[in-house]
Structure 1
Amino acid sequence: MPKSAFAILFTGIMLMAQTIDRTKPPETPPIPRFKMPPVHETKLANGLSVVMLEDARFPLVSVRLSFQAGSKFDPNNMPGLAGMVAGLLTQGTKTRSYRDLAEELTSIGAALNGSASPDVLTLGGSVLAENTAKLLDLTADVALNANFPENEVQLRKQNRKQGLLAQRSQPSFLAREKFDAVLFGDHPYAYIAPTMESIDRMDQKSIIQFRDAFLVPNNAVLLLVGQLPGRAETLKLVRDRFGAWKEKPVPAAPAKNFPASKRQLVLVDRPGSVQADIHIGRLAATRTDPDYYPLLVGNAILGGGASSRLFFDVREKQGFAYDAHSELDRRKDAAAVAAVTQVRNEVVEPAMEAVLGHLSAMAKTPVSADELSDVKNHISGTFLLSLETQASLADQVDLVKTMGLPNDYLEMFTTRVRSVEPDQIQAAARKYLAPDNSAIVVVGDASTIEKPLQKFGTVQVEKAK
């Protein structure tokens, strides 16, 4: 045997012979900051913001055309209109039928779809880099010339009604619906779905009016991420397709008027339910609030996964529920934090006590060093992994631009997470997690669970709709 081979074999044997402490997880190496690829921003004469980001890892280009036109801009009597507009944008234009659009997208290896969140309506797509110009052709045609064919409008309305019926059959939907209504009051954030009546009111005219009011260049950001042509060439592609788009005054966003958080207990009566769906929470810190990162980390410790306090106690130790977690719902103008679980009717009282106890404990006692280290590593690592795909990178940059976040939000995210200290988490928990001013919404059979719920306050009973 050659001496070099013998040396390698001997070294391997010695390493294998070393004692490994398998009771401790391996140390997590330092997690780096995300390094943003070069970004170039400009604005066309009509007010369209253009963001170009070079990502040469893949022969792809991702496009996001986003408008401040989410569901918070729905008319008061027509919740769900933004979602209807988004879903119908790609169903036909003045010169292309739905089938024409689908065939052209398929022929260039592209996708293009509309979606709406509470704040933003987005046309999102991707394509092989060599076909970037063609995808921009189709994106511009859809944004400027969608004609919302009457047959497609009626089909979409019918499908949305069927989807709404399915949603309303789920107690988890009813709980979230009532929880948001309690927290956000008269603000449009209170609506998480259309109603049957609002769907009936939607027609081609109202859809076109919404499009004409909000889908305008001075209310939009166009983001291109990927293997782009040169900067000047890319900008020319954009200007040729979007430059003639006419600027218009844009309606103001609804006022940021939200009710003060207070303790209240609402029971949505759903006769025959064998379990209770529980939401406990209140308004919270948005991404631009100084309390955001301490709350983000604290929320993960409380109920952010299978290693969290809620999951380990309510599910693993007590066996009250299949799932117990906490959520941080972040929007542009407000946020909400909630502990959520579904428990058997016979354990509603001890399960409520357990969840409320954990919410109180977050405010009373500093988190442990091990908990804090593990959660910081998890949040930071998951964040970096989420930016590995081009689509996710495009979505995150789009988030920064549409939510009014600092330009260094992505690059500084892990640094800000890892700088959170136990006293900051405790302070944020006193403001947002301590249950004294939290709303409690429960969906279940009132004849079975109203009495045990009375221990936690005056119960306001409403019939499930």
Structure 2
Amino acid sequence: MTSTPAAHRTAEEIGRTPAGPRPLPPLGDQRGAANLAHSDTMLGNGLRVVAVRKDNVPLVEFRLAIPFAGADPAHPAIAEVLAETVLTGTARRDRVAIDTELALIGAELGSGVDPERLTIVGGALASGLPTLLDVLADVLTSAAYADAEVARESERLVERLAVARTQPRIIAREALQTRRYGTHQYTREVPKAEDVAQVTAEQVRALHAAAVLPRGATLVIVGDLDPETIPATLESALGGWSADGAASVLPALPELAGGDVLLVPRAGAVQSQIRLSARSLPRTDPRYAALQLANLAFGGYFSSRLVENIREDKGYTYGAHSGFEFTGDSATVQVEADTASDVTAAALLEIRYELAKFGVVPPSDADVESVRQYAIGTLQIAMSSQSGLAGQLSALTSVGLGMDWLLGHPARLAAVTTEQVAEVALEFFAPAAFTGVVVGDAALLGKHLTALGGVTVPGYDTAS
């Protein structure tokens, strides 16, 4: 006996009843998170330590963030090599010894760098925390940067950078950074392969001595631990890591102003990258919660207006998104979409239309309630794991915030009104507030973008 397959129902049909759309259930009372006792302490060497008990699993996670700005044109390349080689050996442990000790306690260590900071992240079984901290202290105070290790990792890095610099997303990011901030050192996110090839082990050792400093850095540690005793444990473990100076903080960014979008030529490209940016609010601003909900409604999740327009309705892109970027005390909002060349101008037109409409026709009560539930739910999911909580806290400590702010944020989101969302939507999503870039084939895009207006097309002859 064969059965007739059920008729396919669309998402809209599933979400409706004979009486209309299914109403959202009311937002429940926000319960306090369990097992999140915490401490926030400054060690004698100037290192800020935020420790949180989250003992659902017998593990610990930490995030060490050291301000690591540098004005020297060679700094990005040297810093990148340092991040690649800082864990390859110390005065008393070679690479194999480090890896072996970490493996015996179920631990991992990793490092990375950007124009703002050097980060070292790790995790281990809670019982292995003393060993993990001993290895970390050894790396911080006596990383060797052996000539052979630096040469080997630099060669690998050169190959990766050569490939990365051909990727459209990297090209678009560099173009946007230059458009927003000119020659500011924050724009030097990806060093040039040829600069990395010139880095010496001596330069890396000198940078470590001058810049890997505790004063001004933060260490977030989360897991099966006692937050009251952790500061003393770290004081003992990291007591040898000290210096008179402070870690180097990135200079303030110039204030972002709106203006024409710049076409950045990429000959032969079959796709274009649209990147727009405008001034936003830092998380320390009382209006940030309202702006967070406004961003979600505009383009911050799959059911947003932007996605509905240029992905679901028009089919111009597989993915469109808006989101925040926090740098020091500054904040910006970005709008991004990758499109086929033949619909790039149309997609840019629709993005501008949605930005303008967002201020004039702001989200409704139902829209705000939907994004509110999404924001609170995703925050609680992110805080449910040790690594997620450590990552959230590490980002907050960079601007002087901590666990109290994070625990209080669901209540701030719950208190936002529709009128508050409308106010920030009008102020921060106005099309004139944005500038940015379009990366694509100028021969295909120039005519249409010039006709659209508000786009600078270098070298384009309107008579052609």
With normalisation by structure 2, the TM-score equals 0.88
Structure 2 Cα separation of the partners of residues 429 and 198 of structure 1 = 43
CA deviation vs aligned residue, 1:341-378 (integer Å, no higher than 9, x gap): 12222222221111100011112222111111111100
Q: Which amino acid in the other structure matches residue 430 of structure 1?
A: L
Q: Secondary structure at the match of 1:192?
A: coil
Looking at structure 2, the residues matched to 56 and 458 of structure 1 have their Cα atoms a distance apart, in angstroms, of: 54
Deviation, structure 1 residue 259: 4.6
In structure 2, C-alpha distance between the alignment counterparts of 1:462 and 1:231, rounded to whole Å:
63
Q: 2:338 aligns with which of 338, 342, 348?
A: 342
1:413 matched to 2:412? The reply is no
Contact 1:153 1:203 in 2 (8 A): yes
Counterpart-to-counterpart distance in 2, 1:181 and 1:187: 8
Structure 1 residue 220, shift from structure 2 partner: 2.6
Q: Is the Cα contact below 8 Å between 1:47 and 1:247 reproduced in 2?
A: no
Tell me the residue number matched to 2:56: 57
Asked if 2 retains the 8 angstrom alpha-carbon contact of 1:33 and 1:411, the reply is: no
User: Distance in 1 between the 2:248 and 2:433 partners?
Assistant: 31
Does 2:47 correspond to 1:48?
A: yes
State how far apart, in whole Å, the 1-side matches of 2:223 and 2:239 are.
22
Q: Determine helix, strand or coil for the equivalent of 2:425.
A: helix
Matched, 1:198 2:195: yes
Provide the residue aligned with 2:397 in structure 1.
Answer: 401
Please give the residue correspondences for 1:177-188 in structure 2 after superposition, counting only pairs within 5 Å: 177-188=174-185
Q: Tell me by how many angstroms 1:201 deviates.
A: 4.1
Residue pair 1:266, 1:462 contacting (<8 A) in 2 also: no
Bigger mean CA offset, 385-394 vs 403-412: 403-412
Q: 1:3 corresponds to which residue?
A: none
Cα pair 1:74 1:82 within 8 Å, conserved: no
Matches for 1:6-85 after TM superposition, within 5 Å = 23-24=21-22, 27-30=25-28, 32=30, 34-35=32-33, 37-69=36-68, 72-73=69-70, 75-85=72-82
Contact 1:183 1:283 in 2 (8 A): no
Cα 1:304–1:259 shift into 2, 3 Å: closer
Structure 2 contact 67–247 (Cα < 8 Å) conserved: no
CA distance in 1 between counterparts of 2:395 and 2:97 reads: 31
Q: Does 1:278 align with 2:286?
A: no
Q: CA deviation at 1:390?
A: 1.0
Q: Distance in 2 between matches of 1:274 and 1:104?
A: 49
Q: TM-score, normalised by structure 1?
A: 0.88
Q: Which amino acid aligns with 1:79?
A: P
User: In structure 1, what is the equivalent of residue 139 of structure 2?
Assistant: 142
The sequence identity of aligned pairs, in percent, is: 28
Q: CA separation in 1, counterparts of 2:391 and 2:170?
A: 26
CA distance in 2, matches of 1:235, 1:303: 41
AA at the equivalent of 2:190:
A
Structure 2 distance, partners of 1:325, 1:235, is: 40
What amino acid sits opposite 1:37 in the alignment? L
Give, in whole Å, the separation in 1 of the partners of 2:226 and 2:348.
Answer: 57
Q: Give the SS at the match of 2:225.
A: coil
Asked whether the 8 Å contact 1:114–1:121 carries over to 2, the reply is: yes
**Deviates further, 325-334 or 371-380:** 325-334
The residue number in structure 1 matching 2:236 is 240
| Inter-partner Cα distance in structure 1 for 2:134 and 2:46 | 19
CA distance in 2, matches of 1:413, 1:33: 12
Q: CA deviation at 1:29?
A: 4.1
Matched residues, number: 442
Q: Determine if contact 2:48/2:219 at 8 Å carries over to the other structure.
A: yes
Q: Specify the alignment match of 1:5 in structure 2.
A: none
Q: CA deviation at 1:56?
A: 2.0
- 5 Å-filtered alignment, 1:353-364, equals 353-364=349-360
Measure how far apart 1:197 and its partner are: 3.9
Q: Is the 8 A contact 2:115 2:250 kept in 1?
A: no
SS in 2 for 1:73: coil
2: CA distance, partners of 1:61 / 1:382: 22
Q: 2:369 aligns with which of 359, 366, 373?
A: 373
Is the Cα contact below 8 Å between 2:298 and 2:304 reproduced in 1?
Answer: yes
Q: Alpha carbons of 1:448 and 1:385: their partners in 2 closer, same or farther (altered >3 Å)?
A: same
The 5 A counterparts of 1:93-132 are 93-132=90-129
Return 343-352 or 448-457, whichever deviates more: 343-352
Cα distance, 1:75 vs. partner?
A: 2.7
RMSD, aligned α-carbons: 2.5
- The separation in 1 between residues aligned to 2:310 and 2:125, in whole angstroms, is 48
Which deviates the most, 281-290 or 36-45? 36-45
Judging changes above 3 Å, is the alpha-carbon distance between structure 1 residues 351 and 63 closer, same or farther for their aligned structure 2 residues? closer
Q: Does the alignment pair 1:332 with 2:328?
A: yes
Of residues 75-84 and 145-154 in structure 1, the stretch that sits farther from structure 2 once superposed is 75-84
Q: Which runs of 5 or more residues in structure 1 are unaligned?
A: 1-18
* Alpha-carbon contact 2:59-2:223 (below 8 Å) kept: yes
CA offset digits 1:314-351 (Å, max 9, x no partner): 01111111112212122223222122112222222221
- Partners of 1:64 and 1:123 within 8 A in 2: yes
Cα separation, 2, equivalents of 1:22 and 1:151: 69
Q: Following TM superposition, by how much is the alpha carbon of 1:430 offset from its aligned partner in structure 2, in angstroms?
A: 3.2
CA offset digits 1:156-197 (Å, max 9, x no partner): 222222222222222222112111221123322222311234
Aligned mates of 2:388, 2:459 — CA distance in 1: 41
Q: 2 CA distance for matches of 1:300 and 1:282?
A: 16
Alpha carbons 1:185, 1:259 under 8 Å: kept: no
* CA distance in 2: counterparts of 1:339 and 1:26, whole angstroms: 28
Distance 1:58 1:254, change over 3 A: closer
**Contact preservation (8 Å) 1:78, 1:199:** no
Q: Aligned with 1:219: secondary structure?
A: coil
Q: For residues 416 and 81 of structure 2, what CA distance do their matches in structure 1 show?
A: 41
1:146-225 alignment runs, 5 A limit: 146-225=143-222
Asked if the contact 2:293–2:372 (Cα under 8 Å) also holds between the matched residues in 1, the reply is: yes
Distance (Å, rounded) in 1 between the aligned partners of 2:149 and 2:347: 47
Cα gap change, 1:86 to 1:302, in 2 (>3 Å):
same
Report the Cα offset of residue 227 of structure 1. Answer: 2.0
